[in-house]
Structure 1
Amino acid sequence: MSTPLIRLEGIGKTYRNGELATTVLRDVDLEIHDGEFVAIMGASGSGKSTLMHLLGCLDQPTTGRYLFEGQDIARLDSDELASLRSRTFGFIFQSYHLISSATATENVEVPAIYAGLPRDLRHARAEELLTGLGLGERLGNRPNQLSGGQQQRVSIARALMNDARILLADEPTGALDSKSGQDVLQLLKDLHARGKTVIVITHDRDVANHADRLIEIRDGRIIHDSGPKQTTPAATPNPAPASAAPRSQGLAPLGDTNEAIRMALRALRANLFRTVLTLLGIVIGVASVVVMLAVGNGARQDVVERISDMGTNLLIVRPGAPNTRRSADGSTNTLTAEDAEVAATIDNVVAAVPEVETRATVRAGNTDAQTSITGTTADYVTAKSWPLERGVFLNDDDNRRYAAVAVIGRTVAGNLFPGQDPLGQYLLIRNVPFLIIGVMQEKGATPWGQDQDDVVIVPLNTANNRLIGSRHLSSISVLIDDLRLSDATQEAVRQAILANHAGVEDFQIRNMASLLESVASTQNTFTVLLGSIAAISLLVGGIGVMNIMLVNVSERTREIGIRMATGARTRNILQQFIVEAVVVSAIGGAIGVVSGLGFASLLQYFGTPIQFTPGPVLLAFGCAFATGLIFGFMPAHKAAHLDPVVALSAD
């Protein structure tokens, strides 16, 4: 006799449940040679299935040694054991253990996936095996579309996929009718004749009699062994080309990412409703991030643009001491046109524009309207960066002559002269007729909601003497040249006006550039707040992914056991479930991005300021991808570290 292929020395197996210990195998000594056809027979509970699990390296003995070709398997880690199962053992289970969501061909391909065989080769091999077993017309059928005998044939084809040396068949005819059972036994005999080592686990003596060697087991001990034949067919050449599997071309297990994604999509399709619910959480989270950030960025940009329209190179001088409010009667108004003239002499100052403001009822024909009246000088359009739409603006001569001329905003033009050209027409301001000489371009509202187009602009002296009756100003707008020198220019203007007021600081200066920075900072905070709220939605979606994946692992425990039995390593199972979580999150992320952009576009259509930038979209999708990766790891880790025997026995 040759050196034993399998040698068991004093093997014992005890299962523990807390303090309760159950011994299933006791001092089992056994040798199995290459090419034997062995039947291990025993009643239910005798330990024969446990012995099969040990022989197939699905379980480890509690005591004793298991030598495979002289190598102690106790020295192999879980991945090395998986590799040994992949290249050596083929399992034929009593309950078939087929993956319900996969077709017959896909079930047969599973061992070759973990062996690293290219997709086209393993697909051709699987079809060849199934066709040889009489299932050529059932290649695309799922297990629930096959009879028991057909499922058992798929199981046999899977066992042969990697050209396994040893076939382990657990009650191969137990769930079959007599005709199907005889067909399976004949197939096992044919495989043995081709040089396979066949080990059949059975309680049926008729089945056991088909083997060349009978081993009987009772209460965990071998009570009879007919012994091996002196001549075995181990050296018999394999006459059937179909049973010789193509060799792997060196691909890493599951190294083909496309294959991992296909497996993930197939698993997700198997429970479509649950997948949709999982997607919904991610979709809502991602869409929320996209919409919230688009709205936040849009609002910030809108405010910045409005302030920029007002002029960022401006210093606004107003009456009243710093940090105090002007009194209702305006008694603190001490600014005069002379202050503007003094400010205009400062270096880096382009223009200093005095302004006086009041509100009044204006009339044109039979139409009245309440509006804002601004008295100013010719430099107003320069300082405010506000060009004319048509006509001309005020000039210095108008101011010197106290001319009753006016330039109006678009709102006033629309209210008083609907459908008409206001140029050359008159309007009454406090019973004083003013000739309209120009119309300003539309400017819109300020960040605080004031309509800048609802204004009538008249010469400063005319406003002071004919409308207001005061020489004091409401404000001075100081236009500066170099914004980098704004702080120094602001201090120089302050000192000049302070000297003009005999050292009394009864005015205050606001730097519009600083205001812009302050508002932008506030809007950034607002955007971050909106993004944080949306991120919470995404977090909830991620927790949903983890929860669903944990349920997925629980429901697919047997599938995990099948994959481990056919050669899946720890990293294979880990990768598969992480890929599934990432695929769900990526699909949900893509749908969420599209939905978010669509909803944001709808808001924009109805007038909400929206700013579309790649950043929020990439951030949202990246977060969705990371969510799948992070929240999928725990379920994947749990799946990857299941015990193969426990997983196979799960309901």
Structure 2
Amino acid sequence: MTEALLNVVGVSRSFSAGEDELTVLKEINLQINRGEMVAIIGASGSGKSTLMNILGCLDKPNKGHYFINGQDTSAMDENELAALRREYFGFIFQRYHLLGDLTALGNVEVPALYANEGPHERQKKATQLLTRLGLSDRLEHKPNQLSGGQQQRVSVARALINGGDVILADEPTGALDSTSGEEMMKLLRELHRDGHTIILVTHDPHIAEFADRVIEIKDGEIKDGEIIGDTRNDNVNAYQSSDRAATELVDNPPQTHPQTAKQQTTKYRINWSRYLEALKMALIGMSNNRLRTFLTMLGIIIGIASVVSVVALGAGSQQSIMANIASMGTNTIEIKPGTGRGDRRSGRIRTLMAADADALKTLSFVDSVTPTVRANVAIRYASETVTGSVQGVGTDYFRVRGYSLAQGQFFAEGNALGSVIFLGHLPVRVIGVTEPIESVSSNSDELNVWLPYTTVSGRIFRQNYVSDITVRVDENVESEVAEQGIISLLTMRHGTVDFFTINTDTIRKSIEKTSATMTMLISAIAFISLLVGGIGVMNIMLVSVTERTREIGIRIAVGARQTDIMRQFLIEAVLVCFCGGALGIGLAYFVGVIFSYSGSDFQMVYSGTSIIAAFACSTLIGVLFGYLPARNAARLNPIDALSRD
């Protein structure tokens, strides 16, 4: 005697009902042989659908054992049960349970997708099945564009795509008119003749007449979810399948073998294909729920745009501030006679020479140097006389201090520009006028006259020493290091420390520190908005899982693994956040365009690092905040999920 294909031994199933326990099936013993067409009949609530769910590995018994081809399903994990649903069983549901986002062709392909069939193979197979069922002109129609009978035929094609050795039909005619119902039963008889094992669940005795064998379940006072009848149907010629090809998959269940290199390569290809298909499903889901998708993205868009804009504003502001600081001469070191500010002896120290400035120019970190001789004198032009500052400076003075010309030229650059003025009794000709500038040592309202220091020293003061020397340090050199180098050189030249230095770079550093602190503060605020956006993504994804519970149940029923469900929802969350990040960066650039036309003194400076970090951050948010909804989706009970409207 051949071993039964499906063997139920002492199976009971009960559910919690508050403090009580409701027994639906009690000590069920049942054997179904390969190639049979069996009808399970009983009134509503008798437990026949629960029995079908156990037979189809959608549910597990509380007690007893269920064997498929001799294998005990109680010892199988979720992935092995999913493999059984995918490769052994085909479900035909009363309410069709088609995925509304997919076409008829797409719905039929789903089980083959989870069975790792290539896209061309499964599309070809699905097309052939739908054509055989008379739906060749409905391949691209979605479920809401099909009649009830057409939707049921799509459900049949989906059940057959992976072979469908065992077809489980739950009230297959319950939602159909009488004509469509007769056609459906004829179709099931044809499948039976083709070698498929058919299990019908119905409350209609007329439908049960199509089966070779009728099993009756009774509930209530007489029996409590037990089989009370198991009879052969004399009205139907029993068909025992002899087609080994039709049952080859059942006779030879998949085994685990060591993987060869070729199988490893195939495994990688399959995994890559699964991710691509999950991405495709995510895109379809996003496309069909555009408003929900946009609302999910909105928090990420605002958060990423805030972060990128703040960084760009901070960088632009800092660049503008640093440029202004540089023009004020804050990357300079001043050398003055004496031991420090307030030294009353400094006026009598006359050791700073123009030759010291020439020596300092030889230092590698020095950008430019100028000696200075200064005094206040009466400045007369025509009949007007004012008091102003006269400074004798070197040719590099204007570079050191960051001055630019409004008109004319600097020393030794050409002919005289304009009028002759008198400095005391010394006539001089104006050859250039500088732009106004804010400096740490002067302001733009002061009247300053600059002459070559040799002129001031020789013709006004008649002295051979200078008042001070100012050194502009190269931008790439630490000012403290440069200061120590200058002190060392002058100490060696003078033989003593009869001078002191004023490093104005501390001003720049203070401003930089303040700017960095403000940028960090605003970035923290932007990060909080990004975090809030991530929580919004999680909340909406959790709502999405609730809304799509039925879809998840259908996918599990046709063979999706928990990892397949989790992968789909996780990729969708990551994709939403990634797209939100891209739109957020685009919004940040749009803000930059507005700034460029606003007449602001500075431009937003976008950092490639901040953009990459923004993308990485949005993707990470998708992973972190999408994980919980994805895990919840993967762990849904298929029976509960399928019962949701």
- Whether these two folds match at TM > 0.5 is yes
Deviates more, 1:534-543 or 1:20-29: 534-543
Corresponding position of 1:619: 613
Corresponding position of 1:628: 622
| 2:148 equivalent to 1:167 | no
Corresponding position of 2:240: 233
Give the residue type in structure 2 aligned to 1:555. E
Corresponding position of 2:275: 257
Instruction: Give 1:211-290 correspondences, 5 Å limit.
Output: 211-219=211-219, 220-226=225-231, 232-236=239-243, 252=270, 255-290=273-308
SS at match of 2:91: strand
Partners of 1:195 and 1:448 in 2: CA distance: 100
Alpha carbons of structure 1 residues 231 and 189: separation in structure 2 relative to 1, 3 Å: closer
Deviates more, 1:293-302 or 1:118-127: 293-302
Partners of 2:584 and 2:287 in 1: CA distance: 19
Instruction: Give 1:487-566 correspondences, 5 Å limit.
Output: 487-492=483-488, 509-510=502-503, 512=505, 516=508, 519-566=511-558
Q: Is the 8 A contact 1:361 1:430 kept in 2?
A: yes
- The CA deviation at 1:622 is 1.5
Instruction: From 559, 567, 572, give the equivalent of 1:575.
Output: 567
Alpha carbons of structure 1 residues 79 and 375: separation in structure 2 relative to 1, 3 Å: same
Deviations 1:50-84 (A, max 9, x none): 00100000111000010111110000000110011
Alpha carbons of structure 1 residues 510 and 186: separation in structure 2 relative to 1, 3 Å: same
Instruction: Give 1:25-424 correspondences, 5 Å limit.
Output: 25-219=25-219, 220-226=225-231, 232-236=239-243, 252=270, 255-309=273-327, 314-317=332-335, 339=352, 344=357, 351-354=369-372, 356=374, 376-381=393-398, 383-384=400-401, 391-394=408-411, 423-424=417-418
Partners of 2:137 and 2:55 in 1: CA distance: 34
Alpha carbons of structure 1 residues 78 and 278: separation in structure 2 relative to 1, 3 Å: same
Q: Is the 8 A contact 1:92 1:169 kept in 2?
A: yes
Give the residue type in structure 2 aligned to 1:534. A
Could you tell me which runs of 5 or more consecutive residues in structure 1 were left unpaired when the two chains were aligned: 240-246, 396-406, 408-420
Give the residue type in structure 1 aligned to 2:628. M
Q: Is the 8 A contact 1:15 1:24 kept in 2?
A: yes
SS at match of 1:121: helix
| 2:464 equivalent to 1:478 | no
Q: Is the 8 A contact 2:377 2:424 kept in 1?
A: no
Alpha carbons of structure 1 residues 164 and 362: separation in structure 2 relative to 1, 3 Å: farther
Alpha carbons of structure 1 residues 317 and 283: separation in structure 2 relative to 1, 3 Å: same
Alpha carbons of structure 1 residues 134 and 423: separation in structure 2 relative to 1, 3 Å: same
Q: How much identity, in percent, do the aligned residues show? A: 41
Give the residue type in structure 2 aligned to 1:137. D
Alpha carbons of structure 1 residues 141 and 456: separation in structure 2 relative to 1, 3 Å: farther
Partners of 1:164 and 1:355 in 2: CA distance: 101
Alpha carbons of structure 1 residues 650 and 388: separation in structure 2 relative to 1, 3 Å: same
Q: Is the 8 A contact 1:293 1:527 kept in 2?
A: yes
Instruction: From 450, 455, 468, give the equivalent of 1:457.
Output: 450
Q: Is the 8 A contact 2:420 2:430 kept in 1?
A: yes
| 2:11 equivalent to 1:3 | no
Deviations 1:560-608 (A, max 9, x none): 1110111110110010001111111121122222221232233234332
Partners of 2:270 and 2:446 in 1: CA distance: 70
Root mean square deviation, CA, Å: 4.4
Q: Is the 8 A contact 1:282 1:542 kept in 2?
A: yes
Could you tell me which runs of 5 or more consecutive residues in structure 2 were left unpaired when the two chains were aligned: 220-224, 247-253, 255-262
- Count of matched residue positions in the alignment of Structure 1 and Structure 2: 609
- The CA deviation at 1:256 is 3.8
Q: Is the 8 A contact 2:352 2:465 kept in 1?
A: no
Q: Is the 8 A contact 1:290 1:616 kept in 2?
A: yes
Q: Is the 8 A contact 1:342 1:496 kept in 2?
A: no
Partners of 1:39 and 1:540 in 2: CA distance: 55
Corresponding position of 2:257: none
Instruction: Give 1:432-443 correspondences, 5 Å limit.
Output: 435-439=429-433
Q: Is the 8 A contact 1:444 1:452 kept in 2?
A: no
Q: Is the 8 A contact 2:581 2:618 kept in 1?
A: yes
SS at match of 2:430: strand
| 2:635 equivalent to 1:641 | yes
Partners of 1:48 and 1:99 in 2: CA distance: 25
Give the residue type in structure 1 aligned to 2:210. H
Partners of 1:595 and 1:449 in 2: CA distance: 43
TM-score by length of 2: 0.81
Alpha carbons of structure 1 residues 448 and 393: separation in structure 2 relative to 1, 3 Å: closer
SS at match of 2:533: helix
Give the residue type in structure 2 aligned to 1:552. S
Corresponding position of 1:417: none
Deviates more, 1:382-391 or 1:77-86: 382-391
Deviations 1:12-53 (A, max 9, x none): 001125533111100000000011000000111000110010
Alpha carbons of structure 1 residues 392 and 589: separation in structure 2 relative to 1, 3 Å: closer
SS at match of 1:233: coil
Alpha carbons of structure 1 residues 179 and 353: separation in structure 2 relative to 1, 3 Å: same
Q: Is the 8 A contact 2:371 2:466 kept in 1?
A: no
Partners of 2:63 and 2:45 in 1: CA distance: 19
